[in-house]
Amino acid sequence: MLKAPKILALSSLIALAPSLLFALLLWIFDPFNPRKFDMDLTVLLGVIGGMLLLWLVAQHLVFVFTMNRYYAPFVRREITAFGMPMCQACGHRLASRQVDRCPECGTQLRPNIF
């Protein structure tokens, strides 16, 4: 599946990007250093919670991008090779052999998909 070294390295870098962003924000703002910020506990928890929320959103977006870029095309090819025709662009299951375009996204289908 994801055995190519290039894909593994790129996926790892993409997956680590939000964690590096979170660490950079912690380094820049350093909410745990009491000398740097003179704030009460609610503001401190708000800053940490906001950075954590940003990290979770970024991590989710990176995960979705990586899955759509590398994993979904592999799964679609394998399902098609198994004998269930599927549009390689959107994943719509093709029931009729008479179509030359995907009814879901309009992509021109390859003639050997069936």
What ranges do the domains of the chain cover? 1-28+38-82, 85-114
What is d(CA 82, CA 93) in angstroms, rounded to the nearest whole number?
Answer: 13
- pTM of the complete model: 0.57
What is d(CA 40, CA 23) in angstroms, rounded to the nearest whole number?
Answer: 22
Distance of CA 29 to the CA centre of its chain: 27
What is d(CA 10, CA 74) in angstroms, rounded to the nearest whole number?
Answer: 16
Q: What are the per-10-residue average pLDDT scores of the chain (114 residues)?
A: 68 77 77 66 78 82 83 83 83 75 81 56
What is d(CA 9, CA 7) in angstroms, rounded to the nearest whole number?
Answer: 6
pLDDT of residue 37: 60
What is d(CA 37, CA 24) in angstroms, rounded to the nearest whole number?
Answer: 17
Strand partners, 86: 93
